[in-house]
A = this chain, B = another copy of it.
Amino acid sequence: MNARVKKDLLRSVMRIRAVELEIIKHYGKQQMRCPVHLCVGQEAISAGACAVLRRDDFIFATHRSHGPYLAKGGDLQAMLAELHGRVGGCCDGRGGSMHLMWPKTGIMTSLAIVSQGIPIAAGSALSMQMQGTDQVAMTFFGDGATEEGNFYETLNFAAIRKLPVVFVCENNKLATNTPLSVRRPEGVRITDIAKSLGVHSEYSPDGNDALTVYKMVSEGVERARNGNGPSFFEFDTYRMLEHCGPFDDHEQGLRSAKGREFWRTRCPVDTLSRKLLAENVVTREKIDQWQAEFVQELAAAMKYAEEAPLPDPLTCFDNVYA
């Protein structure tokens, strides 16, 4: 993997983190009046997987959409304006945090119904196949989504028709506050299920390492691009904050602090920056410079978002139909 890619990955995880922290900072002002499912702790998967894609490849995200949106080149101002329910938001305020989209860079949509985007992504891959393009469709989803019929039904169909689609499962072992241990029997691994359905499938416990994610997903994207069909990747990761909202939920006795301690040592930002500094791929100055850029970029975007006009309420009747 060349240094350019590594540097880009580091910048990408750092930027996603910076945006999430900025949202946390401002959320209390009650100007972002929509639920936010933050991805602090899970940035590496979005960053690593999206870095493999071309601009004209498609992604489909979930309620936890910020990571993929930013990693695939979604516009920051449009994102923050969207969270603020303003005109100029990427959906002009109609979607909010759970429905981010930026088709210009292939972010087709984000969907708030668990698993809903999985077949839809496969459908876009079908259209690519029919149209004879060499695009690839990728969809992100959580461990919870794999419990919905959609998941299995779609993998089966994708395998039958060798669709150019890559399924990326972010396994944070939680669905809202219900742990995976309640939702899957002991000893079952999602990757094995995907494999049994005829989809090339791989698992890594290192979902917080963007380099690992990049490497593994590269193979899947290539496979898809070359007409060799779908692949599935399961990455372990950890949700640092509450399911929805800006707070840490460990204090409320719902989760042991142990998990958090373990995963803190695998912070997608810290571990990668340490590593790349040690490898001399990046300098401390470069990192600081990026941080400064983020601060500036975020200040401007936040200002833009807060000052963007509110939608005219009567436009709520527009665009129900074509």
Contacts and interface: CB of A to CB of B under 8 A. Distances in A.
- Interface of A (DSSP majority class): helix
Contact of A160 (B151, B156, B185): B185
Contact of A156 (B150, B184, B197, B198): B184
Interface stretch (A72-80, A187-195, A217-225): A187-195
Interface in A185-235: 185-188, 192-193, 195-198
Query: Which of A147, A182, A188 has the largest number of chain B CB atoms within 10 A?
Result: A188
Say which size band chain A's interface belongs to: 20 to 34
A27 interface: no
Query: Which of A152, A160, A188, A192 has the largest number of chain B CB atoms within 10 A?
Result: A152
A193 B197 CA distance: 6
A195 B192 CA distance: 9
A282 interface: no
A193 B151 CA distance: 13
A146 to B, nearest CB: 9
Interface in A144-172: 147-153, 156, 159-160
B198 A196 contact: no
Contact of A150 (B149, B151, B184): B149
Interface of A: 147-153, 156, 159-160, 182-188, 192-193, 195-198
Given A185-B197, A185-B198, 10 more contacts: A147-B153, A147-B156, A149-B149, A149-B153, A151-B152, A159-B188, A160-B182, A184-B198, A188-B198, A196-B196
19 contacts: A147-B153, A149-B150, A149-B151, A149-B153, A151-B152, A152-B193, A156-B183, A156-B184, A159-B188, A160-B184, A160-B185, A184-B198, A185-B198, A188-B196, A188-B198, A192-B196, A193-B196, A193-B197, A196-B196
